[in-house]
Amino acid sequence: MKTFRGFLLAGTQSGVGKTTISTGIMGALKKRGMSVKPFKVGPDYIDPQFHHYVTGNPSRNLDGYMLKEETIKTLFYKNLVDLDVAVVEGVMGLYDGRGTEKDQGSSAHIAKILNLPVILVIDGSGMSSSAAAMVLGYKMYDRGVNIQGVIINNVSGEKHYAILKEVIERDTATKCIGYLNKNRNIELKSRHLGLIPCGEVPELQKKADEVVAMVEETIDIEGLLSLVSSMEVAGIPIKTLDKKLVIAYPYDDAFNFYYQDNLDLLKELGCSLVPFSPLKDKNLPEKIHGLYIGGGFPEVFAGELEKNKEIRGRIYQKAQEGLPIYAECGGFMYLTKGIKTFEGDSYEMVGVFDAVAEMTKRLQRFGYCEVTPTEKSSFFKESFTIKAHEFHRAIVKGREENYVYHVRKIKGDKVIDRWCCGQEKYNCIGAFPHIHFYSHPSFVEGFIEKCESYKKTMD
């Protein structure tokens, strides 16, 4: 049996400072010589990048909608190897899940599945006794959620914190373990899809060091750990196949939206993964049997992607030769004929799909959905319905008869919206929905079978 400490850091709402405080605490724990394994509730790709940066360990997503409870437990526990502390950053507010269902996809849902104590982050600006009412409400709303401590963000100073601490501890019997002062310098900047990714943040190390220093100054790290009991967990053996397949995947500023567990599953199924950059590299890695293009921000780097004619031409050539390619969201956009940016400028892309991606001023799709391949799709070995997530401002204009997914948005037991999505050509498929491979492993097994067939043509 292995022993570790773990907790979930949740907020009262979005924008309360969860990511800043989470990364600061992770960094402070690492400075104390601890091995920290980070996790993120929900489908977000960007927050885990900051976790990885400060801990040196990949951060994994725990999604209560896309994944079954037993799968969540497996993905959590199998990664608790050689660690001291598991830190899970929540999503939105503590009880915010799919629609109004607090036990589907919320931070509270994950805390209960994994039996983790919760540290609640609140915004203390402009409050005194009302802070206690807020904390008490969160504690009473679901007594199955174990709120062990409170961190207060955006306080006016030590005296303000002392007032908040006194009333919260007196009236809610909940320990306050620290605070952060208002500080615009440590705020993480955002753009059209949320936070700017880790790799694009100027002077990131300086900012990370400043956040960790602030956390160490005003948050009681030892007090936090004292609230978190040690837990025992049996190790879960990982079985790895040896198919000797090589899958290339782009990883740079333009493409970096990958669930770590997706990459892990490909490795466990016998694939070697080779990263490359469509921004910088002139050719694909050699002797590959498949290509997995995740999402990102191709619209932000469209000019640079267009300039790299060599890699675009090589991808198009390999597609014509039958190389299996699976592309999501930004990767899908990259495989179209071109991207029209927010500014109205058009840039040539790979051109596999007879379509054009165009950025719009508003979100086109946002939230969870269910995806079923159309009858015309030959990419998958069997029919299925899989839970997925969409979050994009782009539209892709192309031939409707080429659509490969039927997509449904469901609220409660009712279908509230339906649409079609995606393109398929040669041995390539691209679409907007982001899919967690562990939500339906046969989804990726079908892709791997195509890669195996392609490999035989190379031997």
Active site residues: 329
Give the integer Cα–Cα distance in Å for 134 and 120: 11
Kindly write down the DSSP assignment for every residue of 155-222, as one continuous string. Answer: ESSHHHHHHHHHHHHHHH--EEEEEEE--GGGPPPEETTEEPPGGGSTTHHHHHHHHHHHHHHHB-HH
Spatial separation of the C-alpha atoms in residues 292 and 339, rounded to whole Å? 20
Phi, psi of 333 (to 5 degrees): -60, -40
Those residues whose C-beta lies under 8 Å from the C-beta of residue 254, and which sit 6 or more positions away, are 278, 279, 296, 297, 298, 300, 301, 304, 305, 330, 334
Cβ neighbours of residue 369 closer than 8 Å, sequence gap 6 or more: 387, 388, 389, 390, 407, 408, 409, 410, 433
List CB contacts of 342: < 8 A, sequence separation 6 or more. 192, 299, 359, 361
As a whole number of angstroms, the distance between CA 64 and CA 78 comes to 17
Contact 80, 2 (CB under 8 A): yes
Q: Are 303 and 310 in contact (CB under 8 A)?
A: no
Question: Using CA atoms, how far apart are residues 374 and 133, in angstroms rounded to an integer?
Answer: 51
DSSP 336: S
Count of Cβ atoms closer than 10 Å to residue 368 Cβ = 21
Pairing type for strands 85-93 and 2-11 reads: parallel
Structure tokens of 354? 């007879």
